[in-house]
Structure 1
Amino acid sequence: MVELNLFVITLMFVSGCLSYTLKRKHLLSMLLSLEFLVLSLFFLLIIYLMYYKFEFFFSMIFLTFSVCEGALGLSILVSMVRTHGNDYFQSFNVLQQC
């Protein structure tokens, strides 16, 4: 049973990495694939903690940091849409002169 769960989580992680590398046109699609990666890592953490009969306190810390990461990504998305009008990476230049 654990091997099947690990296979599914590994498949989730690889598909999340693949979608992150292939869908680089929009910031929103990259953020969604990053959240999918975080979700697969969270499942892996829960299975690891259940298998070795550890406490689940670290999972709450992990969820807190993942929520902060998601909020930061959405704030960057909102500021990018307000300043540039879209979330395309082609219209966003990091090396702009002020």
Structure 2
Amino acid sequence: MLEYVILFNLLSGTIVFCSTRKHLLLSLLSLEFIVLSGFLSLVLVMMIYGYELYFSLMFLVFTVCEGALGLSILVSMVRSQGNDYLSSMSLLSW
């Protein structure tokens, strides 16, 4: 039953990420939701097979780094352009 909940969370996060076309903040939130679902499935598999949970701690560290980088991009984008629209983001202007 827990596996289906995790799979539903992963699929709903993926659908929201693929359908988001306007705001960067919503895209970042859906990416974090996908990563959180992946973390829950990782912990579930590690607990079933009896592995140590040290790798899950490393996964969380990389997740926090990814979130901090995403927020720094969001802040720099809002400071330079005044909004967080994905349509105004261009790689040529950076």
Name the TM-score, length of structure 2 as normaliser: 0.96
Distance of 1:93 and 1:68 partners within structure 2: 23
Distance of 2:92 and 2:52 partners within structure 1: 46
**Unaligned stretches of 5+ in structure 2?**
none
Does residue 68 of the first structure (1) align with residue 68 of the second (2)? no
**Which among 49, 53, 72 is matched to residue 52 of structure 1?**
49
Aligned to 1:20: 17
**Unaligned stretches of 5+ in structure 1?**
none
**Runs of 4+ residues over 3 Å off in structure 1:** none
- The alpha carbon displacement at 1:95 in A equals 2.3
**Which among 26, 32, 37 is matched to residue 35 of structure 1?**
32
Larger radius of gyration: 1
Same amino acid, percent of matched pairs: 53
Distance of 1:24 and 1:37 partners within structure 2: 17
Aligned length: 94
Aligned to 1:77: 74
Distance of 2:82 and 2:58 partners within structure 1: 35
